[in-house]
Amino acid sequence: MADPIPEAAIRAIVEAGRRMAERNWVPATAGNISVRLPGGRIAITRSGFHKAHLDSGAVMAVGLDGRPENPALRPSAETGLHCGAYRAFPEVGAVVHGHSIANTVLSRRAGESIGLAGYELLKAFPGLPTHDAAIELPVLDNDQDIARLQAAVEARWARMAAPILPGYLIRGHGVYVWGPDMDAALARLEGLEFMLACEMANLSINPLPGGSAP
Amino acid sequence: MADPIPEAAIRAIVEAGRRMAERNWVPATAGNISVRLPGGRIAITRSGFHKAHLDSGAVMAVGLDGRPENPALRPSAETGLHCGAYRAFPEVGAVVHGHSIANTVLSRRAGESIGLAGYELLKAFPGLPTHDAAIELPVLDNDQDIARLQAAVEARWARMAAPILPGYLIRGHGVYVWGPDMDAALARLEGLEFMLACEMANLSINPLPGGSAP
Amino acid sequence: MADPIPEAAIRAIVEAGRRMAERNWVPATAGNISVRLPGGRIAITRSGFHKAHLDSGAVMAVGLDGRPENPALRPSAETGLHCGAYRAFPEVGAVVHGHSIANTVLSRRAGESIGLAGYELLKAFPGLPTHDAAIELPVLDNDQDIARLQAAVEARWARMAAPILPGYLIRGHGVYVWGPDMDAALARLEGLEFMLACEMANLSINPLPGGSAP
Amino acid sequence: MADPIPEAAIRAIVEAGRRMAERNWVPATAGNISVRLPGGRIAITRSGFHKAHLDSGAVMAVGLDGRPENPALRPSAETGLHCGAYRAFPEVGAVVHGHSIANTVLSRRAGESIGLAGYELLKAFPGLPTHDAAIELPVLDNDQDIARLQAAVEARWARMAAPILPGYLIRGHGVYVWGPDMDAALARLEGLEFMLACEMANLSINPLPGGSAP
């Protein structure tokens, strides 16, 4: 019999779901949320639950390979992307995935990345002590084959300069963001979504190509 | 004397109203909400109540033909559209109707349908296991003669390939969505409204005709 | 000593303030709200209170001429506009005034009225049993001289065909809406703001002049 | 040992954080909030806390020079800007700093100020008894060197005609607003953000240069 999931991990996931739902980032049963547990385990949302009203019954444990501890439960379809972040970055303690209007619309129109520059909120990311910085947020093509999608993510990481930006977009699908703990992951998510919403707003008032320059 | 309406049906309708009001989908006394009951009965919101603060007194029972069990109560004006969905699709357990800014504005500008393609959230609809799909959401002209409007809906269904998409728009008026139960109907509603809001946002940053292509 | 204000009137005003604040229609200390009392009295919000957190101390009584029953209290600066509606229309029981982004921006760009046509929500107004209707919402120039502004409102009413539309805009300032009771006034306000928000959204995706036609 | 921070100051800061978070003006751990205390002290939010859920542990005391009373605690990075306002304007009792989409996007596109004219809400600022007025909201370039940024603010004040407008923008970063107490500071913040949101909305429906004229 598997160990129970620590109460603090469940609370962190439930509260993250509530906060993401308040912002309309987890419509229908979209989105998924996870926390790293001791011993190579991950607590993650089960498939098919609305994130506004999670409880302990909506959270399950998987291994770093994504395999459910209880084979009767089905984890989020994209569990493999969560596990990929935990495997690649030992310091990561929480991963969140949401769908916002801004990340959906911009990722559908973007090439292979979205540039963000000159925002004070860039400081929400590690290694950026000043607003006078620029990041290229990776945008990957959507794929229902999650193993193949995770391989594409890893191939992209291999091409990126260190430190790897703790997040990426999937085209027409949403954002993945991670951090050392849930508070940090959510702060980075809020910072990123804020900058994407600013980009959207800026484009909406500027019909010129390349209109997002400061 | 008619049977009482089961408490669970009333709770589902009250809670759906609250959630739809939070999203500004039921302004003024707009919108209506129903649940199928055993024995060919339907529980539906009465006419003229604000959906943010429903209670058992705001819910009444009608037959599949829309006739009130208690003739002293007036059901939502569009009860005939709810009944039409229940009659046509035996698996349907709940129907919701809301007015959003996106569904109102887009339906006023659309022809006889709105195409949605390439969204991960298309998976919220049955028969679409992948984002790599496209749907044509029917748009019907508004009509105060509900029997005539329902006939137009049925004529449209007759022209559509199976499986029939579980929703449609009425021009300048709103959306109808249904599902096997209220949770499913609301999840489809949230998924659909999210994609319509994305279409609106996409058009707002693209002055070119046909700008919504990914 | 003046009669106390009935508890129900205070509750209606407090709750209206809370609902309007939730929608961002009463920023800073903007907006004002009133209810007709028996005996030619009006209960109205005092000047300078935030509408999100009203209580009985934020509500005072004035006569139909706007004169405070307690001369130590200062009513909303625009009390004269409330009184004007109560004097002109004996069936009016409640008046609300709010500032929305849509009503502010559209009124600044409008001529002397804003046309609304083809919306199901037009049925929220009296005398419009169908969506297949059109209204011309009056837009008046802003004026800090409230008596002069009320005279301009009355001159406009004199030029309008019956039934007089239960609302108007003041340019760059906000909307006034009234109804037989507070629920009706708020339902009309919600319906009107929804249609104005639709007009805004429609214009934002259509750079052509006259783009709001269905 | 330093004196404790009065409970009323903590309550004012906690509540301001909650209200600003509700409006999405303090994403991630952005924003900071302060209150003047008797004796040349200032209560201000500590660095790194989310403003939606502040408590007394998230508030600390500094001197008018920004020096922490308890050197083990780190105040908000921009404490120097708060202190600058308190030193320059003895009547100021509270200072708030937030990031909104409107203030971020508009400040990135603006020159050295943003003009606002013809809004009823201009009356939220002191010395503007009428809507028939215009203000120039200063926009300063962002700078991680807060002492240098505060010097730039003071140089700008020196060029402005009295009365100095109680607020300014930092490009790509956010707004600073102050008032005699927290209620007044928040009312001015709400009024200013409302007008900036109106400017954004107006620009989004008007592709012409100079489109914000009434």
Q: How far is C95 from chain B (nearest CA, A)?
A: 16
> Chains C and D: how many Cβ contacts under 8 Å?
72
d(CA C32, CA C23): 15
> Chains A and D: how many Cβ contacts under 8 Å?
70
Q: How far is A38 from chain B (nearest CA, A)?
A: 32
- Counting as contact any 3 or more CB pairs under 8 A, the partners of C are B, D
Q: Which distant-in-sequence residues (6+ apart) come within 8 Å of C192 by Cβ? A: C124, C137, C167, C175, C177
Q: How far is D2 from chain A (nearest CA, A)?
A: 31
Q: Which distant-in-sequence residues (6+ apart) come within 8 Å of A131 by Cβ? A: A118, A119, A120, A121, A122, A123, D142, D144, D172, D173
**C50 labelled as ligand-binding?**
no
Cβ D144–A132 below 8 Å, yes or no? yes
- Return the closest-CA partner of residue C10 out of C18, A77, C2, B190: C18
* Run of H or E residues at C106: helix C101-109
Residue of D nearest to C78 (CA): D120
Contact status, residue C125 vs residue C166, Cβ threshold 8 Å: yes
Token pair of D177, please? Answer: 């607003």
For the residues C172-197, what does the mean pLDDT come to? 97
pLDDT at C162: 84
Q: How far is C57 from chain B (nearest CA, A)?
A: 26
Token pair of B12, please? Answer: 């589902």
Q: Answer whether A210 touches D (CB < 8 Å).
A: no
Average per-residue pLDDT in chain D?
93
More confident residue, B132 or A166: A166
Cβ-Cβ contacts under 8 Å, C102 against chain D: 201
Pick from A118, A129, A191: which is nearest to D28 by CB?
Answer: A191
**Could you tell me the CA-to-CA distances from C38 to B2, C6, C41, C64, C94 in Å, in that order?**
41, 10, 6, 11, 13
Sequence-ordered alpha helix ranges (H) in D23-69:
none
Q: Answer whether B78 touches A (CB < 8 Å).
A: no
Q: Which amino acid is at D211?
A: G
pLDDT at B206: 63
Cβ C202–B171 below 8 Å, yes or no? no
Pick from B187, B188, B202: which is nearest to A105 by CB?
Answer: B202
Q: Each residue of B33-91: pLDDT tens digit? A: 999 999 999 999 999 999 999 999 999 999 999 999 999 999 988 999 999 999 999 99
Q: Answer whether A75 touches D (CB < 8 Å).
A: no
Contact status, residue B109 vs residue A162, Cβ threshold 8 Å: no
For the residues A25-44, what does the mean pLDDT come to? 97
Cβ B129–A109 below 8 Å, yes or no? no
Cβ C144–D131 below 8 Å, yes or no? yes
pTM confidence score: 0.94
- Bridge partner list, C68: C62
Contacting C residues, span 139-158, partner chain D, CB-CB under 8 Å: 142, 144
Report which DSSP code applies to D95.
Answer: E
pLDDT at A162: 84
Cβ-Cβ contacts under 8 Å, D25 against chain A: none
Pick from A188, A197, A214: which is nearest to D172 by CB?
Answer: A214
> Chains B and C: how many Cβ contacts under 8 Å?
72
Cβ A194–D108 below 8 Å, yes or no? no
**pLDDT at position A172 over 80:** yes
List b or e across C131-161, with b for residues whose CB sees 16 or more CB atoms inside 10 angstroms: beeebebbbbebbeebeebbebbeebbeeee
Query: Whats the size of chain D, residue-wise?
Result: 214
**pLDDT at position C210 over 60:** no
Contact status, residue B136 vs residue B69, Cβ threshold 8 Å: no
The strands making up B32-37's β-sheet, listed across from edge to edge, are B59-63, B41-45, B32-37, B94-98, B174-179, B167-170, B134-140, B113-117
Contact status, residue C205 vs residue B105, Cβ threshold 8 Å: yes
Query: Whats the size of chain B, residue-wise?
Result: 214
The SS3 assignment for D147 reads helix
Cβ A130–D144 below 8 Å, yes or no? yes
Domains, chain B, in order of start with CATH, read: 7-205 (3.40.225.10)
Token pair of C210, please? Answer: 């006259």
**pLDDT at position D209 over 60:** no
pLDDT at D1: 54
Q: Each residue of D148-168: pLDDT tens digit? A: 999 999 999 999 988 899 999
Cβ B144–C131 below 8 Å, yes or no? yes
Pick from A28, A50, A144: which is nearest to B130 by CB?
Answer: A144
Pick from A27, A170, A203: which is nearest to B121 by CB?
Answer: A27
Q: Which residue of B123, B177, B188, B190 is the best one to mutate when testing the A interface, meaning the one whose CB has the most A CBs within 10 A?
A: B190
Cβ C28–D194 below 8 Å, yes or no? yes
- Bridge partner list, C60: C44
Contact status, residue D177 vs residue D135, Cβ threshold 8 Å: no
Q: How many CB atoms lie within 10 A of CB C47?
A: 16
Q: Which residue of B188, B205, B208 is the best one to mutate when testing the A interface, meaning the one whose CB has the most A CBs within 10 A?
A: B205
d(CA A90, CA A76): 21
d(CA B41, CA B66): 9
Q: Answer whether D119 touches C (CB < 8 Å).
A: yes
Confidence at D214, pLDDT banded by 50, 70, 90: very low
If you write DSSP's letter for every residue of chain B in order, what string do you get? -PPPPPHHHHHHHHHHHHHHHHTT-S-TT--EEEEEETTTEEEEEBTT--GGG--GGGEEEEETT--BSSTTS-B-TTHHHHHHHHHH-TT--EEEEE--HHHHHHHHH-SSEEEEES-GGGGGSTT--SSS-EEEEEEE---S-HHHHHHHHHHHHHHSPSSPPSEEEETTTEEEEEESSHHHHHHHHHHHHHHHHHHHHHHHT--STTTT--
**pLDDT at position D24 over 60:** yes
In chain A, which ranges are E strands?
Answer: 32-37, 41-45, 59-63, 94-98, 113-117, 134-140, 167-170, 174-179
- Return the closest-CA partner of residue D106 out of D1, D208, D202, D17: D202
Cβ B142–C121 below 8 Å, yes or no? no
pLDDT at D121: 93
Q: Each residue of C96-128: pLDDT tens digit? A: 999 999 999 999 999 999 999 999 999 888 887
For the residues A193-206, what does the mean pLDDT come to? 92
d(CA C171, CA D120): 9
Cβ-Cβ contacts under 8 Å, B109 against chain C: 202, 206, 214
Contact status, residue B52 vs residue B18, Cβ threshold 8 Å: yes
Confidence at C205, pLDDT banded by 50, 70, 90: confident
Q: How many CB atoms lie within 10 A of CB A74?
A: 12
For the residues A163-190, what does the mean pLDDT come to? 97
Cβ-Cβ contacts under 8 Å, A22 against chain B: none
**pLDDT at position A211 over 60:** no
d(CA A46, CA A33): 9
The strands making up D167-170's β-sheet, listed across from edge to edge, are D59-63, D41-45, D32-37, D94-98, D174-179, D167-170, D134-140, D113-117
- Bridge partner list, B167: B177
Average per-residue pLDDT in chain A?
93
Q: Is the dihedral of CA B28, B31, B32, B33 positive or negative?
A: negative
Find the Cα–Cα–Cα–Cα dihedral A143, A144, A145, A151, rounded to 10°: 30
Q: Each residue of B146-187: pLDDT tens digit? A: 999 999 999 999 999 888 999 999 999 999 999 999 999 999
- Bridge partner list, D68: D62
**pLDDT at position A213 over 50:** no
Place of tokens 């209560």: D43
pLDDT at B208: 45
CA B174 to chain centre: 8
Confidence at C209, pLDDT banded by 50, 70, 90: very low
Query: Whats the size of chain A, residue-wise?
Result: 214
d(CA D199, CA C22): 21
* Run of H or E residues at D176: strand D174-179
* Backbone phi, psi, residue C138, to 5°: -65, 145
